[in-house]
Amino acid sequence: MTEPLVYIVDDDEDLRDAVLDTLEDAGLPAEGFSSASPALAKLNPEWPGIVVSDIRMPGMGGMEFLHAARDQFPEIPFVMITGHGDVQTATNAMKAGAFDFLEKPARPEYLVDVVRRALEMRRLQIENSNLKTLVADGGALKSRLIGRSKVMKALRKEILAVAPLKIDVLLLGETGTGKELTAQSIHDLSPHSDSPFETVNCGMLSDGNWQNSIEVKLTSTDGSTLFLDELEALPEPLQLRLLALIETRDSNGPRIIAALKSDPAQLIAEGRLRADLYYRINVAQIILPPLTERENDLFVLLEFFIRDAAARHQLKLPEITQDMLNPLRVHSWPGNVRELRNAAEKMVIGLPLALTPGTSEAKAPFGEGESYDDAMGRFEKALLRHALMQAGGRKGLAAESLGIPRKRLYLRLKTLGLD
């Protein structure tokens, strides 16, 4: 049943029914009450509707009803009805906070117009309230996705932009960059934050557990969020079945947030990711930066993780020397934030770091331990990879975003070994 957007409160049954019929004919769901008390009991601050109330009623009169509602729910608009040409009472109602007033008998078209205007004001109130909440939650987001670098500020901004929208999201990022934390944050900042958030590791799926892990969840209508981690690990037949489920998903079905660890273009070229599934899920794309591209966030995060570990283990903060920090400056951090958190844990406990060996491509901060040519080559590789990921692997679009001819992009990719 559609939630009523208008409560009609009037002890005159004939007039109440006439107003209900007029609003229903205009596509405005409404509910009638013969007295104010039961209507007042049903009001709540999240209700997106308005009240149309007679002023003169036995028991709780319209003005008393207005004052009582304004005390508890000051933002719900009231439209007052008077049948006695009582201008003074109508004026008092407006002073008390009523949105507007109508004289009996109100012309149907005028009644509908006033109600629509009041509902629009109510919609804007709720929208503004949600925006304020989102802005406030944006502060909380800083304590989750920690970092002062430009890329992290941009990441938080992207999350705040997509979170309120009922659209699927694709997260791209290396191991340990915080994809599940980002997915959880998007869910928590959405209008359906009270609904379940469920994580499915696609690498663990098979025909045997497919139905309980995916089919049941994708056919639900509870407004939940389904996080599909390591989508590229899903076998190709199951990718096809997933695509079919997404295409037939109910409008109230779960929101999908999927994550990839590698470049989608490369995965598609290698046959590890279906192109049709990628384009279906890739409604909004968010790229999570690796730790080496986050400016000085390394030491901001290190301090946070050390303090957190010391508090959890009830240990003193360790003495951090320059000799201990130097290896961290030049380490490539293939495990990204997850690896840094583990390193901080070992520093607190007093264990040797034993940093994970890096990849063949150095990822030390630019200008430290590498030549100018090496640094510029690494920068160009990162730039081209980012442009290709943003363009979904389409080289023509990537070249356009970079402001260079397509031929030049092809040549640079070949020269850098990225073709």
Residue 237's contacts (CB-CB under 8 Å, 6 or more residues apart) are none
Outline which parts of the chain fall under CATH 1.10.8.60. 292-349
What does the pLDDT read at residue 79?
Answer: 92
Q: Considering all CA atoms of the chain, what is the largest pairwise distance in Å, rounded to the nearest integer? A: 89
CATH fit for domain 292-349, picks 3.60.15.10, 2.60.40.10, 1.10.8.60, 3.40.47.10:
1.10.8.60
CA 159, distance to chain mean position in Å, is 6
* Crossing angle of helices 62-72 and 87-95, rounded to 10°: 10
The amino acid sitting at 214 is I
What does the pLDDT read at residue 90?
Answer: 72
Look up the CATH superfamily of 145-289: P-loop containing nucleotide triphosphate hydrolases (3.40.50.300)
- Asked if residue 105 has a cis previous peptide bond (ω within 30° of 0), the answer is yes
Percentage with pLDDT > 70 across the chain: 89
Q: Which two tokens stand for residue 289?
A: 């930066």
**CA–CA gap between residue 383 and residue 379 (Å, rounded):** 6
What does the pLDDT read at residue 360?
Answer: 34
What does the pLDDT read at residue 363?
Answer: 41
Check pLDDT > 90 for residue 1.
no
What's the rounded mean pLDDT across residues 267-284? 93
- The residue with greater pLDDT, 91 or 299, is 299
Measured in degrees and rounded to the nearest 5, phi and psi for residue 95 equal: -65, -30
Comparing 129-138, 284-293, 376-385, 388-397, the range with the smallest average pLDDT is 129-138
**CA–CA gap between residue 116 and residue 127 (Å, rounded):** 16
**CA–CA gap between residue 116 and residue 119 (Å, rounded):** 5
Percentage with pLDDT > 90 across the chain: 39
Query: Which residue in this structure is represented by tokens 């961290």?
Result: 328
What does the pLDDT read at residue 52?
Answer: 94
Residue 61's contacts (CB-CB under 8 Å, 6 or more residues apart) are 36, 55
| 172-203 confidence digits (pLDDT tens) | 999 999 999 999 999 988 888 888 999 999 98
Comparing 285-294, 349-358, 399-408, the range with the smallest average pLDDT is 349-358
What does the pLDDT read at residue 359?
Answer: 40
For the chain, the three-class secondary structure string (H helix, E strand, C coil) is: CCCCCEEEECCCHHHHHHHHHHHHHCCCCEEEECCHHHHHHHCCCCCCCEEEEECCCCCCCHHHHHHHHHHHCCCCCEEEEECCCCHHHHHHHHHCCCCEEEECCCCHHHHHHHHHHHHHHHHHHHHHHHHHHHHHHHHHHHHHCCCCCHHHHHHHHHHHHHCCCCCCEEEECCCCCCHHHHHHHHHHCCCCCCCCEEEEEHHHCCCCCHHHHHHHHHCCCCCCEEEEECHHHCCHHHHHHHHHHHHCCCCCCCEEEEEECCCHHHHHHCCCCCHHHHHHHCCEEEECCCHHHCCCHHHHHHHHHHHHHHHHHCCCCCCCCHHHHHHHHHCCCCCHHHHHHHHHHHHHHCCCCCCCCCCCCCCCCCCCCCCHHHHHHHHHHHHHHHHHHHCCCCHHHHHHHHCCCHHHHHHHHHHCCCC
| 103-137 confidence digits (pLDDT tens) | 888 889 999 999 999 999 898 888 766 655 555 55
Nearest to 388 by CA among 249, 206, 266, 217: 266
Check pLDDT > 60 for residue 315.
yes
CB-CB contact of 130 with 165 (8 Å): no
Q: What is the chain's mean pLDDT, rounded?
A: 85
CB-CB contact of 317 with 355 (8 Å): no
What's the rounded mean pLDDT across residues 415-419? 76
- Cα-based distances in Å from 271 to 90, 110, 252, 282, 389: 72, 62, 32, 17, 17
Residue 304's contacts (CB-CB under 8 Å, 6 or more residues apart) are 146
Measured in degrees and rounded to the nearest 5, phi and psi for residue 167 equal: -130, 155
What is the distance between the terminal CA atoms of the chain, rounded to a whole angstrom? 57
User: 281 falls in which pLDDT band (50, 70, 90)?
Assistant: very high
Outline which parts of the chain fall under CATH 1.10.10. 372-415
Comparing 134-138, 254-258, 272-276, the range with the smallest average pLDDT is 134-138
CATH fit for domain 372-415, picks 3.40.1400, 3.30.2320, 2.40.160, 1.10.10:
1.10.10
- The residue with greater pLDDT, 99 or 136, is 99
Supply the CATH classification number for the domain 6-128. 3.40.50.2300
User: 84 falls in which pLDDT band (50, 70, 90)?
Assistant: low
Outline which parts of the chain fall under CATH 3.40.50.2300. 6-128
pTM above 0.75, yes or no: no
